[in-house]
Structure 1
């Protein structure tokens, strides 16, 4: 099992900058896929706790790309990531603007159910209908008390923000929590996996050029440069 990117890095940036994202935590995820095939992987994302923004590192054909999706602005920023002799360079490539596109989430009508197992474990179920006879997914979330708030529910679903708010209703308002582990079963696709998260402090900034290069989204095209 090979880590996607080292935790201790030196970051350099290319271009004239305007907007800046500051990342203060790294989240290392160890994922064991159970179905349809058994696979293990380790990945690292970086987290801006002030603005609730992630820098996701993707790998395809041995090429690395860094991606920031700014949900408030509906913009997706891509960076070429180069590793060499212990240094990592992030070079801005382009931005995808989704403001003009209309996305219909087929799961918007799902009914969510959150059950408390104990003070640090919660079950979340997404039902496809109001009768709650067909499940889209179920998840077991394990929390831990933390120095900073990280209630990011890593479920591929349009109502992940609503899930977080429903879990928060059960929590002690005088304590701070972070997600430690999550087990998910997607009944619609047949995927099941278990992920454990390790959170550490970092301190670096990533900046955008003054003039953004807008391109249509193309996943494979991201890795052509």
Structure 2
């Protein structure tokens, strides 16, 4: 596999910045949709192993954007991504404000999370829709590997994934760090996804936000307009 050469530029708008994000790992994942039809997706992201922030790279119509969702502020920062001869540069574009939670219904608050140890590096997850445990949202199997850093980021279409990761962490040997090597999710709707890590690379990337953020309403297609 051709090794990615990483070179980063953070374009700035002011000499004073409100916040800076730092990422120390690049992670490439392969996502296979198994059912109802087959599809393969390559997912790239940068990870902050200290503060757990993530910069995801999404591509639509051959235009790539980088997104940081800050759970502490409910702000989502968008960056233009330029690729040139193996190097990558980032330019801040705007921020989406999701701090208004009035319209966000917590559909999963009564769900029951059942997490069991299969062995020291494998765990099962069942998410039941209520305490009767008769209906499931999804089931999953997580395969871990010992790592230089902790990353228990469960990537699923579910708003309590952080809680699931924390519960798995409680079952692990605290002497070691762990990373999710493979995750298989079976949704009750019939969709099955398998995610595996294909590459982890040590990097040194810092992105700075301008002192005054450009706040825009969220528009998926508008995000990818050059």
Contact preservation (8 Å) 1:45, 1:55: yes
* 1:83, distance to aligned residue in structure 2 (A): 1.4
Which residue, out of 6, 9, 12, partners 1:9?
6
Q: TM-score, normalised by structure 2?
A: 0.92
The answer on whether the counterparts of 2:185 and 2:194 sit within 8 Å (CA) in structure 1 is yes
Instruction: Give distance in 2, aligned partners of 1:129 and 1:71.
Output: 26
Higher alpha-carbon deviation: 81-90 or 60-69: 81-90
Structure 2 alignment gaps of length 5 or more: none
* Matched residue, 1:203: 204
Does the Cα contact within 8 Å between 1:26 and 1:47 map onto a contact in 2? yes
Tell me if structure 1 keeps the 8 A contact 2:5–2:87.
Answer: no
Measure, in 1, the Cα distance between the counterparts of 2:178 and 2:87: 33
> Under a length normalisation based on structure 1, what TM-score does the superposition of the two structures give?
0.92
**Residue 156 of structure 1: CA displacement?**
2.3
Displacement after TM superposition at 1:28 (Å): 0.7
Moved over 6 A (4+): none
Deviation of 1:86 after TM superposition, in Å, equals 2.7
Q: Secondary structure at the match of 1:11?
A: coil
Q: Kindly report which structure 2 residues correspond to 1:54-203, keeping only aligned pairs within 5 A, or say none.
A: 54-102=54-102, 103-188=104-189, 190-197=190-197, 198-203=199-204
* C-alpha distance in structure 1 between counterparts of 2:119 and 2:61, whole Å: 43
Decide whether the 8 Å contact of 2:10 with 2:206 is kept in 1.
Answer: no
Segment drifting more, 74-83 vs 154-163: 154-163
Separation (CA, whole Å) in 2 of partners of 1:86 and 1:162: 37
Structure 2 CA distance, aligned partners of 1:67 and 1:151? 19
Corresponding residue number in structure 1 for 2:43: 43
Distance 2:24 2:58 in 1: 20
Long gaps (5+) in structure 1: none
Q: C-alpha distance in 2, partners of 1:153/1:221?
A: 28
**Shift of residue 207, structure 1, vs aligned partner:** 1.1
